[in-house]
Structure 1
């Protein structure tokens, strides 16, 4: 599996504005096989317990030197901060996840079949690889390394279809606001 390339198109302190842009992008995408991936950096039991209830099959590992993980059956509340990850979740999980994330840095990634044809930039229909939208909550980057008080929406494309990212931004009345970069996983 190859990595997608992502480019930010919106940064806002208003989570509802960011979600509105995500909805508009999803409105032009081929949503067959839609599934959602979540990641969060959790530093407190007050966030951890409801997040583990929301993402019942989440994996986690300690961020730092404490060495704990779900793979070894450790107790995550003894290893803060922990990085949680849940892949292939249903769309109805997004709202509850965002409700419990609070101020924690987190990402929600919508994974779907493809982007539409972009004839203005010479591109046909985009396939599943490189067809994602990521919402970074309380975060500026895709790696959970730059906590922030605002939220960032990223569009993902194939590297050789880089011109699709500005085209997608334009479809929702925006423009790219940063460089195209290789996305994690």
Structure 2
């Protein structure tokens, strides 16, 4: 685990638009070693079953303070709904299946990139090494699903010492950053 710093570049009710911007940002980056992390709030057994089929090494934990349970306990997650699930190091091809399984639930797709491109006009070389990510928060405003919403937010992640890369990246896809640069536990 490492920490990157994330800043929002788009908020829209149109999931297709959000995915399109995420893909434009991915096209800027070195994606040769890319993998994806998924996080979702799951309310139904059907969604849980579909996610279990799509994702390997699925971790989960109960959202109920009265009935705490997790994948570490060996308990059945279907008996503890709603739960949050997380899966690391997945193939990018799993994104569509993940989003279909989650449906209108809150979720995050986080693409882990090899590096961001050089940005000579702001004095930055190639950037990344544990600080190059794109996150799509579906039906959520934040990276941890604490702020459910009816729209979707795209974030770029950078190293804290390269904070000026976030507005530069946004500009490369015709957007501007908004909100604060926030620490993200990747």
Q: Normalised by the shorter chain, which TM-score bucket?
A: over 0.9
1:97-119 per-residue CA deviation (whole Å, 9 max, x = no partner) reads 01111111100000011000111
In structure 2, the residue matched to 1:120 is 121
Mapping of residues 139-158 of structure 1, within 5 Å: 139-158=140-159
How far residue 55 of structure 1 moved from its aligned partner, in angstroms, is: 1.5
The number of residues matched between the two structures is: 185
Contact 1:142 1:184 in 2 (8 A): no
- 1:17 match: secondary structure: helix
- 1:170 match: secondary structure: helix
Contact 2:44 2:81 in 1 (8 A): yes
In structure 1, the residue matched to 2:165 is 164
Contact 1:24 1:172 in 2 (8 A): yes
- 2:109 match: secondary structure: strand
Cα distance in 2 for residues equivalent to 1:5 and 1:126? 13
Q: TM-score, normalised by structure 1?
A: 0.97
In structure 2, the residue matched to 1:40 is 40
- 1:182 match: secondary structure: strand
1:139-165 per-residue CA deviation (whole Å, 9 max, x = no partner) reads 000111000110000000000100000
CA RMSD of aligned residues (A): 1.0
- 2:130 match: secondary structure: coil
Which sections of structure 1, spanning at least 5 residues, go unmatched?
none
Cα distance in 2 for residues equivalent to 1:130 and 1:63? 29
In structure 2, the residue matched to 1:63 is 63
In structure 1, the residue matched to 2:76 is 75
Looking at secondary structure, tell me which structure has more strand per residue: 2
Contact 1:63 1:81 in 2 (8 A): yes
How far residue 57 of structure 1 moved from its aligned partner, in angstroms, is: 2.2
